[in-house]
Amino acid sequence: MIELKGITKRFDDQPVFENIDLSLAQGEIIVVIGPSGTGKSTLLRCINFLERPDAGHLTVGDLSFDVTRATTRDILALRRRTAFVFQNYALFANKTALENISEGMIVVDGLPKAQAHARAREILERIGLADKADAYPASLSGGQQQRVGIGRAMAANAEVILFDEPTSALDPEWVDEVLGLMKQLAAERQTMIVVTHEMRFARDVADRVIFMDEGRIVEQAPPSELFHQPRDERTQRFLRKVL
Min CB(47)–ligand ADP separation in Å: 12
Q: Please identify, among the stretches 22-30, 37-45, 106-114, 223-231, the one whose residues bind Mg ion according to the rule CB under 5 A.
A: 37-45
Site for ligand ADP in 36-65 (CB under 6 A): 36-42
Sheet of 55-60, strand order: 14-24, 2-11, 55-60, 63-66
Min CB(187)–Mg ion separation in Å: 26
11 belongs to the binding site for ligand ADP (CB under 6 A) = yes
Min CB(37)–ligand ADP separation in Å: 4
Cβ neighbours, 10 Å, residue 109: 14
Are the beta carbons of 23 and 3 closer than 8 angstroms?
A: yes
Partner from ligand ADP, Mg ion, none contacting 71, C-beta within 5 to 8 A by type: none
Pick between residue 40 and residue 152 the one whose CB is nearest to ligand ADP: 40
42 belongs to the binding site for Mg ion (CB under 5 A) = no
The DSSP bridge partners found for residue 3 are 23, 59
Pick between residue 87 and residue 184 the one whose CB is nearest to Mg ion: 87
- Residues constituting the chain: 243
Min CB(128)–ligand ADP separation in Å: 29
Partner from ligand ADP, Mg ion, none contacting 92, C-beta within 5 to 8 A by type: none
Alpha-carbon distances of 171 from 126, 127, 143, 144, 146, rounded to whole Å? 23, 19, 8, 12, 12
Site for ligand ADP in 163-222 (CB under 6 A): none
Cβ neighbours, 10 Å, residue 10: 13
Partner from ligand ADP, Mg ion, none contacting 102, C-beta within 5 to 8 A by type: none
16 belongs to the binding site for ligand ADP (CB under 6 A) = yes
Alpha carbon 209 to chain centroid, angstroms? 14
Q: Which residue in the set 41, 82, 146, 167 belongs to the binding site for Mg ion (CB under 5 A)?
A: 41
Q: How many residues bind ligand ADP (CB under 6 A)?
A: 9
Q: Would strands 160-164 and 192-195 be described as parallel, antiparallel, or unpaired?
A: parallel
Calculate helix-pair angle for 113-126, 142-155, nearest 10 degrees: 130
Helix (H, G, I), strand (E, B) or coil at 52: coil
Pick between residue 41 and residue 82 the one whose CB is nearest to Mg ion: 41
Task: Provide CB contacts within 8 A for 154, sequence distance 6+.
Answer: 83, 123, 126, 127, 161, 185, 190
Q: Which residues bind ligand ADP (CB under 6 A)?
A: 11, 16, 36-42
Q: Which residues bind Mg ion (CB under 5 A)?
A: 41
